[in-house]
Structure 1
Amino acid sequence: MSLLAAALAVVAAVTALNLLLTVGLVKRLREHTVLLSDLGGTAPVIAVGAEVGDFTATAVSGISISRADLTDETLVGIFSVTCRPCRATVGDFAAYARTMPGGRGRVLAVVVGDPADAASFVSALSPVAHVVVEDSGGPVGAAFQAQAFPTMLRVAPDAAGRVVVAANRVQVGRPAALAA
Structure 2
Amino acid sequence: MPFLIAAVVLVGLLCVLDLILSLGVVKRLREHTEMLNNLNGRASIGAGEEVGTFTAVTVDGLPVSRDLLTDETLVGFFSPGCPACKEQLPKFVEFARSMPGGRDRVLAAVVGDVQRTTDMVAVLNPVAHVVAEPAQGGAVGGAFQVAAFPSVLKVAANDSGRPVVTAARVDLDRRPSPAV
Q: TM-score, normalised by structure 2?
A: 0.74
Secondary structure in 1 aligned to 2:119? helix
Alpha-carbon contact 1:57-1:64 (below 8 Å) kept: yes
- In the TM superposition, what are the counterparts of 1:72-151 in structure 2 within 5 Å? 72-136=71-135, 137-151=137-151
- What's the secondary structure of 1:116's corresponding residue? helix
Q: Which residue of 1 aligns with 2:26?
A: none
Distance 2:40 2:121 in 1: 20
2:49 corresponds in structure 1 to 50
What secondary structure is seen at the aligned counterpart in 2 of 1:78? strand
- Deviation >6 Å, runs of 4+: none
Give the C-alpha shift of residue 56 in structure 1.
0.5
Residue type matched to 1:146 in 2?
A: V
For 1:42 and 1:123, the matched residues in 2 are separated by 29
CA RMSD of aligned residues (A): 1.6
Aligned partners of 2:109 and 2:140 also within 8 Å: yes
Asked whether the 8 Å contact 2:43–2:147 carries over to 1, the reply is no
- 3-state secondary structure, aligned to 1:175: coil
Give the match's secondary structure for 2:92: helix
Summarize the Cα distance change of 1:41–1:92 in structure 2 as closer, same or farther, 3 Å threshold: farther
Deviation at 1:42, TM superposition (A): 5.6
Q: CA deviation at 1:79?
A: 0.7
Contact 2:156 2:166 in 1 (8 A): yes
In structure 2, what is the Cα distance between the partners aligned to 1:65 and 1:44?
22
- Deviations 1:83-105, CA, capped at 9 Å, x for gaps: 11001111100000000000000
CA shift in 2, pair 1:41/1:133, >3 Å: farther
Cα deviation, residue 44, structure 1? 4.1
Give the secondary structure class of the aligned counterpart of 2:115.
coil
Q: Is the 8 A contact 1:46 1:146 kept in 2?
A: yes
- Number of residue pairs the alignment of both structures matches: 140
2:64 alignment partner in structure 1: 65
5+ residue gaps in structure 2?
A: 1-35
Q: CA separation in 2, counterparts of 1:109 and 1:41?
A: 20
Aligned to 1:28: none
